[in-house]
Structure 1
C-alpha cells in the first residue's frame, strides 16, 4: 500500500505546478503569527457544514469507483502537499521563519492549507476522479485498491503516470490557483 500511495502521490506532485501567486491585500486584519485571521464571512459556515456531512460509510457506498479510489489512496490530499511545496519557497514565509521561528510559522501555514483543503478538496477530488474514470474501468480501480501492488492493473497505473500528471496539471489549474490564492491571502494577513 505504501508504494501505491507513493505512486499516486507522485502522480499529482509530478504535475509540477508553477503558478504565479495572487496575493490580494486584506484590510483591517490584525493577527499574530501562529493565529489565523477571520478571513471571510463564509469560513464559519464552511466549518459548520462539516458537521452536517454524511457519514463516511454512506459516502463510500454512494461514491463512484474513481471517487472511492481517490479517497482510499489519499490522492485528494495531494492538493495540500502541492500547496505546502509551493508556499514554503515564498520569500515572506522564509523571512517570517527567521523572525518568528519555524514552529509559529509552521502552525500558520498548516492552518491556511487546511482551510484551503476544506474549501477546495472536494473539487480537487472530483477532478482527480474524472481523470481516473477516463483511464480506468471500475474493476481495475477496485482491483488496485483491493490488491495494491499485486493487482494485475497496477502496472497500468504506473504506465499512466505521465498522462495522469499532465491531466492533473491541465484540469486542476483553476482549482489549484484558487486554493493557492486563498492560502497566500491568509499568509499575507497573518505573517
Structure 2
C-alpha cells in the first residue's frame, strides 16, 4: 500500500481545492491510500529560534512525523496573488528542516490545484514545485491537474460529480502512483 499525504493549500473548509482533494481521496487507485492532513494550519510561522530539537511545538512534531511516515505528498493548492498561500509556504519551510535530513528530503511530491483564473493556478503550482524542489523533495512534474474558473465551475457541483474532473484526476492519480511504484522498484533492484 502506498500512503500519500494530501496537503490542501486553502484552509477554508468549503474551498474548491479542499473539494478537489476530497475527490482525489475518493478516487484513490487500488494500492494507494490518500489522506488529507488537517494540522498544517496550526503550524506557527517558521522561526529558527523555535526550531529547537526537544522543544518543538507539538504541531511541528506531528506534521514532520506525518510527512516522514508518508510514501509521497500530494499538494492541492489555490493561487493567492499569483503565488502559493502563506500557510503552504510555511508548511514547506517547516518540512524542509533540519537541512539535509528533513522529512521532505527525497520525498516524492506532486502538485495539483484549481483557481478562479483562466490558468487554474498554474503560477502557484510552479511556485510550489520550485519551493519543494529547493527544500529537497523529489518533485513529480510528469503529471498535473490545473482546473481554471473554479468558483464558477464548482459553484453548484462538487469536483467528484464533474465527469471531466474525475477523468483528469483518475489519469493524474494513475500516473502519480505508477511513478511512485517504478521508483520503488528501481530502489529495490
Please say whether Structure 1 and Structure 2 have the same fold, judged by a TM-score greater than 0.5: no
TM-score (norm 2): 0.33
Larger radius of gyration: 1
Comparing both structures, which one devotes a greater share of its residues to helix?
Answer: 1
Comparing both structures, which one devotes a greater share of its residues to strand?
Answer: 2
TM-score (norm 1): 0.33
Structure possessing the higher relative contact order (Cα contacts under 8 Å, 6 or more residues apart): 1
